[in-house]
Chains A and B, each alone.
Chain A
Amino acid sequence: GESVGLHLPTLSVQEGDNSIINCAYSNSASDYFIWYKQESGKGPQFIIDIRSNMDKRQGQRVTVLLNKTVKHLSLQIAATQPGDSAVYFCAENIQGYSTLTFGKGTMLLVSP
């Protein structure tokens, strides 16, 4: 299993700033990637996904970038708001297999 620590990486930003959360994935065979937002005491909430035939996908205030060469995924949140404060997880999947593998997570703290 993956090794996990007791302290999540934390990104602290001011309200209105743009936030970038990074994720390194391990399996070069993964071809579907998802970002989830998890607020305290709640289940993960789908934010945005991207398939490996794309390198960028935009949603409302969010953009996901995929760099398959270095196995790196990022989530950009524009004009970050206090309500964006949560833990963000990336997850990877291989087409044909429905199990997800989650990254360690990053806590985003947005100050007013």
Chain B
Amino acid sequence: GAVVSQHPSRVICKSGTSVKIECRSLDFQATTMFWYRQFPKQSLMLMATSNEGSKATYEQGVEKDKFLINHASLTLSTLTVTSAHPEDSSFYICSAPAGTSGSDTQYFGPGTRLTVL
């Protein structure tokens, strides 16, 4: 199956700092990638859709100025959590569909554990 990587796997930062998380599709190109957030014992909640060459689409309630998304190439999307606060501590996961149709299997990265002190 297709492989998606994330970096870093875990990060601890101080409140007020910004953190960048990378999502890469290793063996396929992805014009679209998705960013999810997952709190303990809860399901994945879609934050935004990252589109190569255009602006990201954010879900309702997600602040676009706080969660900056850049889809720099067909294999890389980045999520920057700006001015992080303890309530931003969560497990952030990206995914990418391995195909060009609207209903392709999505492959997920291993996730990034963010802890804001």
Contact = CB atoms under 8 A, between A and B. Distances in A.
Contacts of A43: 4, 6, 93, 95, 108-111
B103 A96 contact: yes
Contacts, number: 81
A4 B38 CA distance: 11
B54 interface: no
A95 interface: yes
B44 A89 contact: yes
| Chain B: interface size category | 20 to 34
A31 to B, nearest CB: 7
Interface residues of A, number: 33
B61 A1 contact: yes
Given A1-B60, A1-B61, A46 B42 contact: no
A50 B42 CA distance: 24
A60 B94 CA distance: 26
A2 B43 contact: yes
A85 to B, nearest CB: 15
A46 B43 contact: no
A78 to B, nearest CB: 21
A2 B116 CA distance: 25
Contacts of A94: 102-103
Nearest to A33: B103
Interface of B: 1, 4, 6, 32, 34, 40-46, 49, 59-61, 91, 93, 95, 97, 101-111, 113
